[in-house]
Amino acid sequence: MRCIALCAVLAVSAAAGPASRPAMPDRCERLAEAWRGRFEKEKLAWAVSPPFVVAGDGGHARVKGVLERTILPARRALSAKFFKTPPEEPILILLFEGEGTYRRLARDWLGDRDVPHYGYFRRDNVMVMNLATGTGTLVHELVHALIRSDFPVVPSWFNEGMGSLFEQCRFGGENDIRGLTNWRLPALQNAIREGKLRPLEEMIEDPAFYGPNQGLNYAQARYVLLYLQEKGLLEGYYKAFRGSVEDDPTGLITLKKVLNVRKLNDFDAEWRQWVLSLHFP
């Protein structure tokens, strides 16, 4: 099955020595070639658009459509607003139209048996997506893939907050992306009303983000970043946090500065009222 050429392959500079690392387009082509046998066996269509190699079982038009309408616009907008350092390695994105094939090939190709329902990003730069659930998780996991080079030591709360923020989003203009309210809101509002949501500062400083509070942690982190977005503070916070992470590894100190508060508890109370005023859908 032929590859869709969606982006011209850049030539390696003639001045480069024989030991020079191949350019990203060449590495993407090599990655696609390395996976060609598996793609063809499963009748997957694929496309190369550096830094991405995208393959899926929905046919050429589907792969091209997801690439051009979701992956590339998200990458352009996220890079324009946040991520200045481009990916260092090619990113392989596997798109499956049904849960059965998604789970089977995650197991057979990657050895992953207990996989999330929606999709996931692996530390070896592979994204595996169950498109039967929509494309929201695709943007979520794309954030993880792109932030990896730009902010290598990003803490889990912020990494998942950013991913979750853009799992429901809209594109505006050439390079704009905005998170919207989404399905995580009702559980967060219920936790606030019932007095079950822990203080924001505790969530930010907790190293066990993926522990028993994981579901609420995702929601809490997401809606803090949505608040910053709506107040025009998110881009500034991201850049300030990235620049000061050695002295502020959790981002708490920088967050207080951006919000202009001495104690986060004061902001926490205001933020909870703001969350309760939101609606979804």
Average pLDDT by consecutive 10-residue portion of the chain (281 residues)?
36 40 95 98 98 98 98 97 97 98 98 97 97 95 98 98 97 92 98 98 96 96 98 98 98 98 95 98 88
**Chain position carrying tokens 């969606």:** 6
Q: Which two tokens stand for residue 259?
A: 């919000």
Cβ atoms of 127 and 55 closer than 8 Å: no
Is beta strand 91-96 parallel, antiparallel or unpaired with respect to 126-130?
parallel
Q: What is the pLDDT of residue 10?
A: 31
pLDDT at residue 173, as a whole number: 81
Residues sharing a CB contact under 8 Å with residue 265, sequence separation 6 or more, in sequence order: 199, 201
DSSP state of 278: -
Q: How many C-beta neighbours within 10 Å does residue 4 have?
A: 17
Please give the Cα distance from 220 to 72 (Å, whole number): 28
> What local confidence, expressed as pLDDT, does residue 174 receive?
77
Predicted pLDDT at 38: 98
- Residue-range domain boundaries for the chain: 3-150, 171-276
Could you tell me the end-to-end alpha-carbon distance of the chain, in angstroms, rounded to an integer? Answer: 41
Residues 6 or more apart whose CB falls under 8 angstroms from that of 197 comprise 188, 191, 216, 220, 272
The per-residue pLDDT for 198 is: 97
Whether residue 281 is preceded by a cis peptide bond, meaning omega within 30 degrees of 0, is yes
Residues with Cβ within 8 Å of 254's Cβ and at least 6 positions away in sequence, in order, are: 237, 240, 241, 244, 248
Q: How far apart are CA 198 and CA 160, in angstroms?
A: 18
Tell which phi-psi region holds residue 125, choosing left (phi > 0), alpha (psi between -120 and 50) or beta: left
Distance CA 115, CA 102 (A): 9
**Strand ranges, E, within 131-250:** 169-171, 177-179
What is the DSSP secondary structure assignment for residue 121, as one 8-state letter?
E
- In CATH terms, 3-150 corresponds, of 3.40.30.160, 3.40.50.720, 3.30.70.20, 3.40.50.300, to 3.40.30.160
Task: Give the Cα separation of 39 and 57 in Å (integer).
Answer: 9
Strands (E), the chain: 3-5, 45-49, 52-56, 91-96, 119-121, 126-130, 169-171, 177-179
Distances (CA, A) of 280 to 90, 136, 170, 180, 241: 36, 16, 15, 9, 30
In degrees rounded to 5, what are phi and psi of residue 88?
Answer: -85, -20
